[in-house]
Structure 1
Amino acid sequence: MGKGDNLPSPGETGAAATDQARECEGKGACEFKQTRFSDQIMPHILNLYGSCAKANDFDMYAPNASFEDPLTHAQGVKQIKSAFYSLSKVFGESKIVEYHVQESDIAPGKKEILIDNKQHYKIMGKDIDMISLIKLSVENGKIVRHEDWWDKKPLRNRDTVGFPLVGRFMEMGRRGMMLATHAMMGFGKDPDSH
Protein backbone atom coordinates (compact mmCIF):
# COMPACT_ATOMS: atom_id res chain seq x y z
CA MET A 1 0.00 0.00 0.00
CA GLY A 2 1.05 3.56 -0.52
CA LYS A 3 3.28 3.05 -3.51
CA GLY A 4 2.25 3.83 -7.06
CA ASP A 5 1.84 0.83 -9.29
CA ASN A 6 4.12 2.26 -12.02
CA LEU A 7 1.36 2.03 -14.60
CA PRO A 8 0.26 4.85 -16.86
CA SER A 9 -2.34 7.09 -15.27
CA PRO A 10 -6.00 6.52 -16.18
CA GLY A 11 -5.93 9.59 -18.41
CA GLU A 12 -2.88 8.28 -20.29
CA THR A 13 -4.17 5.86 -22.89
CA GLY A 14 -3.44 4.89 -26.45
CA ALA A 15 -0.21 5.87 -28.16
CA ALA A 16 1.37 7.74 -25.23
CA ALA A 17 1.09 4.76 -22.89
CA THR A 18 2.10 2.28 -25.60
CA ASP A 19 5.13 4.31 -26.70
CA GLN A 20 6.31 4.59 -23.11
CA ALA A 21 5.97 0.82 -22.64
CA ARG A 22 7.80 0.07 -25.92
CA GLU A 23 10.61 2.39 -24.98
CA CYS A 24 11.05 0.53 -21.69
CA GLU A 25 11.13 -2.87 -23.41
CA GLY A 26 14.15 -1.83 -25.45
CA LYS A 27 16.06 -0.58 -22.41
CA GLY A 28 15.45 -3.58 -20.16
CA ALA A 29 14.35 -2.33 -16.76
CA CYS A 30 12.92 1.12 -16.39
CA GLU A 31 10.31 2.99 -14.42
CA PHE A 32 7.48 5.08 -15.73
CA LYS A 33 7.80 8.68 -14.67
CA GLN A 34 5.38 9.92 -12.05
CA THR A 35 2.35 11.20 -13.88
CA ARG A 36 -0.27 11.51 -11.17
CA PHE A 37 -0.52 14.67 -9.09
CA SER A 38 -1.07 12.49 -6.03
CA ASP A 39 2.39 10.93 -6.52
CA GLN A 40 3.91 14.40 -6.21
CA ILE A 41 2.00 15.47 -3.10
CA MET A 42 1.93 12.28 -1.01
CA PRO A 43 5.38 12.89 0.54
CA HIS A 44 4.13 16.32 1.65
CA ILE A 45 0.84 14.91 3.01
CA LEU A 46 2.82 12.32 4.99
CA ASN A 47 5.03 15.11 6.41
CA LEU A 48 1.97 17.13 7.45
CA TYR A 49 0.33 14.25 9.27
CA GLY A 50 3.69 13.05 10.62
CA SER A 51 4.31 16.28 12.55
CA CYS A 52 7.45 16.97 10.52
CA ALA A 53 6.12 19.53 8.04
CA LYS A 54 8.42 22.13 6.56
CA ALA A 55 7.41 25.39 4.91
CA ASN A 56 7.68 23.93 1.39
CA ASP A 57 5.19 21.16 2.28
CA PHE A 58 2.47 23.82 2.08
CA ASP A 59 3.38 24.93 -1.47
CA MET A 60 0.83 22.42 -2.79
CA TYR A 61 -2.04 24.61 -1.50
CA ALA A 62 -3.70 27.48 -3.34
CA PRO A 63 -3.45 30.75 -1.34
CA ASN A 64 -7.17 30.66 -0.48
CA ALA A 65 -7.32 26.89 0.21
CA SER A 66 -9.33 25.46 3.08
CA PHE A 67 -8.73 22.56 5.46
CA GLU A 68 -11.47 21.01 7.54
CA ASP A 69 -11.71 18.12 9.97
CA PRO A 70 -14.26 17.47 12.75
CA LEU A 71 -12.42 19.87 15.11
CA THR A 72 -11.18 22.75 12.95
CA HIS A 73 -11.87 24.70 9.77
CA ALA A 74 -8.86 26.60 8.42
CA GLN A 75 -9.09 29.23 5.67
CA GLY A 76 -5.92 30.12 3.79
CA VAL A 77 -2.43 28.66 3.87
CA LYS A 78 -1.38 30.41 7.11
CA GLN A 79 -4.26 28.83 9.05
CA ILE A 80 -3.57 25.45 7.42
CA LYS A 81 0.04 25.77 8.61
CA SER A 82 -1.18 26.49 12.14
CA ALA A 83 -3.46 23.44 12.06
CA PHE A 84 -0.68 21.05 11.07
CA TYR A 85 2.14 22.66 13.08
CA SER A 86 -0.07 22.26 16.18
CA LEU A 87 -0.08 18.44 15.85
CA SER A 88 3.37 18.15 17.45
CA LYS A 89 2.19 20.30 20.36
CA VAL A 90 -0.81 18.05 21.07
CA PHE A 91 0.46 14.58 20.22
CA GLY A 92 3.66 12.81 21.22
CA GLU A 93 3.48 10.98 17.90
CA SER A 94 1.34 11.29 14.78
CA LYS A 95 1.59 9.64 11.38
CA ILE A 96 -0.27 7.96 8.55
CA VAL A 97 0.65 4.28 8.81
CA GLU A 98 -1.28 2.87 5.83
CA TYR A 99 -2.90 4.49 2.82
CA HIS A 100 -4.44 3.89 -0.58
CA VAL A 101 -4.79 6.71 -3.12
CA GLN A 102 -7.46 7.14 -5.77
CA GLU A 103 -7.20 10.07 -8.18
CA SER A 104 -9.95 11.15 -10.57
CA ASP A 105 -10.15 13.87 -13.20
CA ILE A 106 -13.50 15.60 -12.73
CA ALA A 107 -13.12 18.41 -15.29
CA PRO A 108 -10.30 20.03 -17.26
CA GLY A 109 -7.81 21.30 -14.68
CA LYS A 110 -9.77 19.77 -11.77
CA LYS A 111 -9.07 16.58 -9.85
CA GLU A 112 -10.37 14.82 -6.78
CA ILE A 113 -7.94 12.77 -4.73
CA LEU A 114 -9.20 10.34 -2.10
CA ILE A 115 -6.70 8.98 0.42
CA ASP A 116 -8.15 6.08 2.37
CA ASN A 117 -5.83 5.84 5.36
CA LYS A 118 -5.09 4.70 8.87
CA GLN A 119 -3.62 7.28 11.22
CA HIS A 120 -1.72 6.63 14.45
CA TYR A 121 -1.48 9.11 17.32
CA LYS A 122 0.03 9.01 20.79
CA ILE A 123 -1.35 11.33 23.45
CA MET A 124 -0.32 11.17 27.12
CA GLY A 125 1.24 7.75 26.50
CA LYS A 126 -1.93 6.28 24.99
CA ASP A 127 -1.94 4.94 21.42
CA ILE A 128 -4.88 5.92 19.22
CA ASP A 129 -5.43 4.37 15.80
CA MET A 130 -8.05 5.89 13.54
CA ILE A 131 -9.28 5.31 10.01
CA SER A 132 -9.83 8.36 7.89
CA LEU A 133 -10.70 9.48 4.40
CA ILE A 134 -8.77 12.50 3.18
CA LYS A 135 -10.52 14.29 0.31
CA LEU A 136 -8.49 16.75 -1.74
CA SER A 137 -10.01 19.02 -4.37
CA VAL A 138 -7.36 20.18 -6.83
CA GLU A 139 -7.64 22.98 -9.37
CA ASN A 140 -4.86 23.92 -11.78
CA GLY A 141 -2.26 21.92 -9.85
CA LYS A 142 -3.04 23.33 -6.38
CA ILE A 143 -5.15 21.96 -3.54
CA VAL A 144 -8.14 24.24 -2.96
CA ARG A 145 -9.97 22.10 -0.38
CA HIS A 146 -8.62 19.48 2.04
CA GLU A 147 -11.12 17.55 4.16
CA ASP A 148 -10.26 14.87 6.71
CA TRP A 149 -13.25 12.61 7.38
CA TRP A 150 -12.58 10.72 10.61
CA ASP A 151 -14.02 7.19 10.57
CA LYS A 152 -14.83 7.99 6.91
CA LYS A 153 -17.89 9.98 8.04
CA PRO A 154 -18.76 13.23 6.24
CA LEU A 155 -18.12 16.41 8.17
CA ARG A 156 -21.15 17.54 10.14
CA ASN A 157 -22.45 20.89 8.95
CA ARG A 158 -25.71 22.61 8.03
CA ASP A 159 -26.01 20.43 4.90
CA THR A 160 -25.33 17.05 6.54
CA VAL A 161 -27.25 17.15 9.84
CA GLY A 162 -31.01 16.90 10.21
CA PHE A 163 -31.40 20.34 11.75
CA PRO A 164 -29.44 23.01 9.80
CA LEU A 165 -29.11 25.36 12.78
CA VAL A 166 -27.25 22.65 14.76
CA GLY A 167 -24.95 22.11 11.78
CA ARG A 168 -24.30 25.84 11.59
CA PHE A 169 -23.28 25.89 15.27
CA MET A 170 -20.89 22.98 14.57
CA GLU A 171 -19.32 24.97 11.73
CA MET A 172 -18.93 28.02 13.97
CA GLY A 173 -17.33 25.88 16.68
CA ARG A 174 -14.74 24.54 14.20
CA ARG A 175 -13.94 28.08 13.04
CA GLY A 176 -13.58 29.27 16.64
CA MET A 177 -11.27 26.36 17.49
CA MET A 178 -9.16 27.16 14.41
CA LEU A 179 -8.88 30.85 15.26
CA ALA A 180 -7.69 29.98 18.79
CA THR A 181 -5.19 27.45 17.37
CA HIS A 182 -4.02 29.99 14.80
CA ALA A 183 -3.31 32.57 17.52
CA MET A 184 -1.49 30.03 19.73
CA MET A 185 0.66 28.90 16.79
CA GLY A 186 1.87 32.41 15.92
CA PHE A 187 -0.59 33.06 13.08
CA GLY A 188 0.93 30.57 10.66
CA LYS A 189 4.59 31.43 11.20
CA ASP A 190 6.96 28.67 10.22
CA PRO A 191 8.76 27.37 13.33
CA ASP A 192 12.48 28.18 13.48
CA SER A 193 13.36 24.49 13.42
CA HIS A 194 11.59 24.06 10.10
Structure 2
Amino acid sequence: MIRSNFFLLVRSTSTLSHHRNPFSAFTISNLSSSSKLPGSAMETYSKDTEEPKKDQQKETSTRDVDPSKNVSDDILPHILNLYGSCASPRDFEIYAPDASFEDPLMCAQGVKQIKSAFYSLSKVFSESRITEYNIKENILPHGRREIVIDNKQYYKFMGKDIDMISLIKLYVEDGKVIRHEDWWNKKPLWNRETSNVPVVGRIIEMARRGSMLATHAMMKFGKDPTA
Protein backbone atom coordinates (compact mmCIF):
# COMPACT_ATOMS: atom_id res chain seq x y z
CA MET A 1 0.00 0.00 0.00
CA ILE A 2 1.93 2.99 -1.26
CA ARG A 3 -0.29 5.53 0.42
CA SER A 4 -0.43 3.63 3.67
CA ASN A 5 3.35 3.39 4.07
CA PHE A 6 4.08 6.95 3.05
CA PHE A 7 1.17 8.37 5.03
CA LEU A 8 2.22 6.51 8.14
CA LEU A 9 5.82 7.64 7.74
CA VAL A 10 4.84 11.28 7.43
CA ARG A 11 2.31 11.26 10.22
CA SER A 12 4.20 9.12 12.70
CA THR A 13 7.43 11.03 12.32
CA SER A 14 5.75 14.38 12.82
CA THR A 15 6.91 16.12 15.92
CA LEU A 16 3.39 17.26 16.42
CA SER A 17 2.65 14.12 18.38
CA HIS A 18 4.80 15.67 21.12
CA HIS A 19 3.18 19.10 21.03
CA ARG A 20 1.11 20.29 23.88
CA ASN A 21 -2.56 20.74 23.23
CA PRO A 22 -2.78 24.14 21.47
CA PHE A 23 -6.35 24.66 22.58
CA SER A 24 -7.01 25.77 26.12
CA ALA A 25 -10.63 24.78 25.75
CA PHE A 26 -12.90 23.32 23.10
CA THR A 27 -14.14 26.26 21.11
CA ILE A 28 -16.35 26.60 18.11
CA SER A 29 -16.94 29.99 16.55
CA ASN A 30 -18.56 30.99 13.33
CA LEU A 31 -16.92 34.29 12.43
CA SER A 32 -17.21 36.24 9.23
CA SER A 33 -14.74 38.74 7.90
CA SER A 34 -15.86 42.35 7.98
CA SER A 35 -16.46 42.84 4.29
CA LYS A 36 -18.73 45.57 3.04
CA LEU A 37 -20.26 45.85 -0.35
CA PRO A 38 -19.77 49.42 -1.54
CA GLY A 39 -22.95 51.39 -2.07
CA SER A 40 -23.43 51.74 -5.81
CA ALA A 41 -25.85 53.93 -7.72
CA MET A 42 -27.88 52.55 -10.60
CA GLU A 43 -29.36 55.08 -12.97
CA THR A 44 -32.90 54.54 -14.25
CA TYR A 45 -35.08 56.81 -16.32
CA SER A 46 -38.69 57.80 -15.89
CA LYS A 47 -40.79 57.51 -19.02
CA ASP A 48 -42.43 60.84 -18.18
CA THR A 49 -39.48 63.02 -17.25
CA GLU A 50 -36.53 61.08 -18.71
CA GLU A 51 -34.64 62.32 -15.66
CA PRO A 52 -32.24 59.95 -13.99
CA LYS A 53 -33.16 58.53 -10.65
CA LYS A 54 -30.73 56.79 -8.36
CA ASP A 55 -31.50 53.61 -6.52
CA GLN A 56 -28.97 53.35 -3.74
CA GLN A 57 -28.03 49.85 -2.76
CA LYS A 58 -28.03 49.20 0.94
CA GLU A 59 -24.66 48.56 2.46
CA THR A 60 -24.42 45.11 3.92
CA SER A 61 -21.87 43.66 6.25
CA THR A 62 -21.09 40.04 7.02
CA ARG A 63 -21.48 40.97 10.66
CA ASP A 64 -25.21 41.21 10.01
CA VAL A 65 -25.41 37.72 8.50
CA ASP A 66 -27.42 35.30 10.60
CA PRO A 67 -24.91 32.71 11.91
CA SER A 68 -27.51 30.00 11.35
CA LYS A 69 -27.22 30.66 7.61
CA ASN A 70 -23.45 30.21 7.44
CA VAL A 71 -22.40 27.70 4.82
CA SER A 72 -20.10 26.02 7.33
CA ASP A 73 -23.10 24.89 9.38
CA ASP A 74 -24.15 22.54 6.59
CA ILE A 75 -20.65 21.44 5.54
CA LEU A 76 -18.93 20.86 8.91
CA PRO A 77 -20.82 17.67 9.94
CA HIS A 78 -19.76 16.00 6.70
CA ILE A 79 -16.13 17.07 7.13
CA LEU A 80 -16.13 15.55 10.62
CA ASN A 81 -17.43 12.29 9.15
CA LEU A 82 -14.75 12.27 6.46
CA TYR A 83 -11.93 12.66 8.95
CA GLY A 84 -13.64 10.32 11.38
CA SER A 85 -13.42 7.35 8.98
CA CYS A 86 -17.19 7.03 8.99
CA ALA A 87 -18.01 8.73 5.69
CA SER A 88 -21.05 7.71 3.66
CA PRO A 89 -21.75 8.55 0.00
CA ARG A 90 -23.96 11.39 1.18
CA ASP A 91 -21.04 13.11 2.89
CA PHE A 92 -19.33 13.60 -0.46
CA GLU A 93 -22.31 15.52 -1.82
CA ILE A 94 -20.75 18.68 -0.34
CA TYR A 95 -18.25 18.66 -3.24
CA ALA A 96 -18.72 20.02 -6.74
CA PRO A 97 -18.15 17.33 -9.43
CA ASP A 98 -14.75 18.75 -10.40
CA ALA A 99 -13.63 19.63 -6.86
CA SER A 100 -10.03 19.13 -5.79
CA PHE A 101 -8.46 17.92 -2.56
CA GLU A 102 -4.83 18.35 -1.56
CA ASP A 103 -2.68 17.52 1.43
CA PRO A 104 1.11 17.01 1.67
CA LEU A 105 0.69 13.40 0.51
CA MET A 106 -1.98 13.41 -2.20
CA CYS A 107 -3.55 15.58 -4.87
CA ALA A 108 -7.05 14.42 -5.84
CA GLN A 109 -9.18 15.74 -8.68
CA GLY A 110 -12.89 15.01 -8.84
CA VAL A 111 -15.28 13.46 -6.32
CA LYS A 112 -14.28 9.85 -7.04
CA GLN A 113 -10.63 10.48 -6.20
CA ILE A 114 -11.64 12.43 -3.09
CA LYS A 115 -13.69 9.41 -2.03
CA SER A 116 -10.66 7.16 -2.43
CA ALA A 117 -8.54 9.53 -0.35
CA PHE A 118 -10.90 9.49 2.63
CA TYR A 119 -12.17 5.91 2.37
CA SER A 120 -8.54 4.79 2.64
CA LEU A 121 -8.19 6.24 6.16
CA SER A 122 -9.98 3.30 7.77
CA LYS A 123 -7.62 0.94 5.92
CA VAL A 124 -4.60 2.52 7.59
CA PHE A 125 -5.74 3.63 11.03
CA SER A 126 -7.89 1.89 13.60
CA GLU A 127 -9.16 5.29 14.75
CA SER A 128 -9.17 8.77 13.26
CA ARG A 129 -11.07 11.95 14.02
CA ILE A 130 -10.93 15.71 14.45
CA THR A 131 -10.88 16.28 18.19
CA GLU A 132 -10.80 20.07 18.51
CA TYR A 133 -11.50 22.85 16.08
CA ASN A 134 -12.19 26.52 15.59
CA ILE A 135 -13.97 27.84 12.50
CA LYS A 136 -13.88 31.09 10.57
CA GLU A 137 -16.03 31.77 7.54
CA ASN A 138 -15.13 34.59 5.17
CA ILE A 139 -17.06 36.01 2.25
CA LEU A 140 -14.93 36.31 -0.88
CA PRO A 141 -15.60 38.16 -4.14
CA HIS A 142 -18.17 36.77 -6.58
CA GLY A 143 -20.20 35.15 -3.81
CA ARG A 144 -17.59 32.58 -2.86
CA ARG A 145 -16.92 31.53 0.71
CA GLU A 146 -13.74 30.53 2.47
CA ILE A 147 -14.09 28.25 5.49
CA VAL A 148 -10.96 27.92 7.64
CA ILE A 149 -10.91 25.13 10.24
CA ASP A 150 -8.03 25.41 12.71
CA ASN A 151 -8.04 21.91 14.14
CA LYS A 152 -6.34 19.05 15.91
CA GLN A 153 -6.56 15.56 14.43
CA TYR A 154 -6.11 12.23 16.20
CA TYR A 155 -5.01 8.92 14.65
CA LYS A 156 -4.33 5.51 16.13
CA PHE A 157 -2.04 2.99 14.46
CA MET A 158 -1.12 -0.32 16.06
CA GLY A 159 -1.94 1.06 19.49
CA LYS A 160 0.10 4.22 19.02
CA ASP A 161 -1.62 7.59 19.44
CA ILE A 162 -0.75 10.26 16.90
CA ASP A 163 -1.85 13.88 17.34
CA MET A 164 -1.50 16.36 14.52
CA ILE A 165 -2.30 20.05 14.19
CA SER A 166 -3.74 21.08 10.86
CA LEU A 167 -5.38 23.93 9.00
CA ILE A 168 -8.23 22.90 6.71
CA LYS A 169 -9.24 25.38 4.03
CA LEU A 170 -12.46 24.95 2.08
CA TYR A 171 -13.44 27.15 -0.85
CA VAL A 172 -17.16 27.11 -1.53
CA GLU A 173 -19.14 28.26 -4.54
CA ASP A 174 -22.93 27.93 -4.89
CA GLY A 175 -23.00 25.88 -1.69
CA LYS A 176 -20.50 23.29 -2.96
CA VAL A 177 -16.85 22.82 -2.01
CA ILE A 178 -14.70 23.43 -5.08
CA ARG A 179 -11.32 23.14 -3.32
CA HIS A 180 -10.26 21.41 -0.09
CA GLU A 181 -6.76 21.90 1.29
CA ASP A 182 -5.32 20.29 4.41
CA TRP A 183 -2.18 22.03 5.68
CA TRP A 184 -0.38 19.70 8.09
CA ASN A 185 1.34 21.62 10.86
CA LYS A 186 -0.34 24.70 9.30
CA LYS A 187 2.33 24.84 6.60
CA PRO A 188 1.33 25.73 3.00
CA LEU A 189 1.31 22.88 0.53
CA TRP A 190 4.50 22.41 -1.48
CA ASN A 191 4.22 22.85 -5.22
CA ARG A 192 6.04 24.61 -8.06
CA GLU A 193 4.68 27.95 -6.84
CA THR A 194 5.49 27.65 -3.14
CA SER A 195 8.83 25.82 -3.43
CA ASN A 196 12.02 27.87 -3.57
CA VAL A 197 13.21 25.53 -6.30
CA PRO A 198 10.47 25.10 -8.96
CA VAL A 199 11.93 21.79 -10.14
CA VAL A 200 11.62 20.37 -6.64
CA GLY A 201 8.05 21.64 -6.50
CA ARG A 202 7.21 19.82 -9.73
CA ILE A 203 8.73 16.59 -8.42
CA ILE A 204 6.65 16.86 -5.26
CA GLU A 205 3.52 17.48 -7.30
CA MET A 206 4.22 14.39 -9.41
CA ALA A 207 4.82 12.28 -6.31
CA ARG A 208 1.54 13.43 -4.77
CA ARG A 209 -0.34 12.68 -7.99
CA GLY A 210 1.28 9.25 -8.17
CA SER A 211 0.34 8.52 -4.57
CA MET A 212 -3.24 9.53 -5.32
CA LEU A 213 -3.51 7.35 -8.42
CA ALA A 214 -2.14 4.34 -6.54
CA THR A 215 -4.60 4.90 -3.70
CA HIS A 216 -7.44 5.43 -6.18
CA ALA A 217 -6.73 2.09 -7.82
CA MET A 218 -6.41 0.34 -4.46
CA MET A 219 -9.78 1.75 -3.37
CA LYS A 220 -11.47 0.49 -6.57
CA PHE A 221 -11.55 3.93 -8.16
CA GLY A 222 -13.71 5.62 -5.56
CA LYS A 223 -16.31 2.88 -5.23
CA ASP A 224 -18.56 3.41 -2.22
CA PRO A 225 -18.13 0.59 0.34
CA THR A 226 -21.89 0.36 0.84
CA ALA A 227 -22.63 0.20 -2.92
1:134 equivalent in alignment to 2:182: no
Instruction: Give the number of the structure whose alpha-carbon radius of gyration is greater.
Output: 2
1:113 equivalent in alignment to 2:147: yes
Point out where structure 1 has 5 or more consecutive residues left out of the alignment: 18-31
TM normalised by structure 2 equals 0.73
Residues 104 and 184 of structure 2 are in contact (CA less than 8 Å); yes or no, is this contact kept in structure 1?
yes
Residues 137 and 146 of structure 1 are in contact (CA less than 8 Å); yes or no, is this contact kept in structure 2?
yes
Q: CA deviation at 1:2?
A: 5.2
Query: Which amino acid counterpart does residue 40 of structure 1 have in structure 2?
Result: D
TM normalised by structure 1 equals 0.85
Point out where structure 2 has 5 or more consecutive residues left out of the alignment: 1-25, 35-60
Question: How many residues end up aligned between the 2 structures?
Answer: 175
Counterpart CA distance in 1 for 2:69 and 2:27 is: 15
1:54 equivalent in alignment to 2:105: no
Aligned to 1:11: 62
- Classify 1:33/1:171 alpha carbon distance in 2 versus 1 (closer, same or farther; 3 Å): closer
1:154 equivalent in alignment to 2:191: no
Task: Select 1:123's aligned residue among 132, 142, 157.
Answer: 157
Residues 29 and 134 of structure 2 are in contact (CA less than 8 Å); yes or no, is this contact kept in structure 1?
no
Counterpart CA distance in 1 for 2:78 and 2:105 is: 22
1:167-187 CA-to-partner distances (Å, cap 9, x unmatched) read: 000000000000000000010
Aligned to 1:44: 78
- Classify 1:2/1:54 alpha carbon distance in 2 versus 1 (closer, same or farther; 3 Å): farther
Residues 80 and 129 of structure 2 are in contact (CA less than 8 Å); yes or no, is this contact kept in structure 1?
yes
Task: Select 1:179's aligned residue among 213, 216, 221.
Answer: 213
Q: CA deviation at 1:162?
A: 0.8
1:86 equivalent in alignment to 2:120: yes
Query: Which amino acid counterpart does residue 62 of structure 2 have in structure 1?
Result: G
Counterpart CA distance in 1 for 2:31 and 2:184 is: 29
Aligned to 2:137: 103
1:119-165 CA-to-partner distances (Å, cap 9, x unmatched) read: 00011211000000001111111101000000000001111111000
Residues 83 and 181 of structure 1 are in contact (CA less than 8 Å); yes or no, is this contact kept in structure 2?
yes
